[in-house]
């Protein structure tokens, strides 16, 4: 009796872990997409000639705004 109960508990635990792993797939894809957006935007800002005097924090702030969709007049820290 105890052995079958233990097997049932392991089965429930395995099922729970599997469900959690499946639920995390879309979140990890979205994070990977956002990271690619951030990296490519920072590279674009670094290559832009009129933004070369900005410090790194200002460039990253702009990249975060672009990747989050807040490109409507963002307030950037340029110094």
73 is a domain residue: no
For residue 5, give the H/E element and its range.
helix 2-47
Q: Does 61 have pLDDT greater than 70? A: yes
Integer Cα distance of 11 and 29 in angstroms: 28
First vs last C-alpha separation in the chain: 70
Say what the pLDDT of residue 21 is: 93
50 is a domain residue: yes
79 is a domain residue: no
26 is a domain residue: yes
Domain extent, residue 57, equals 2-68
**13-56: per-residue pLDDT in tens?**
999 999 999 999 999 999 999 999 999 999 988 887 787 788 88
75 is a domain residue: no
41 is a domain residue: yes
Count of domains for the chain: 1
53 is a domain residue: yes
């Amino acid at each position: 009796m105890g052995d079958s109960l233990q097997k049932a508990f392991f089965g429930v635990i395995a099922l729970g872990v599997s469900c959690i792993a499946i639920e995390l797939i879309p979140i990890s894809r979205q994070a990977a997409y956002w990271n690619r957006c951030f990296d490519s935007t920072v590279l674009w800002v670094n290559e832009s000639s009129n933004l070369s005097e900005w410090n790194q924090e200002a460039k990253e702030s702009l990249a975060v705004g672009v990747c989050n969709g807040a490109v409507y007049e963002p307030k950037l820290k340029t110094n």
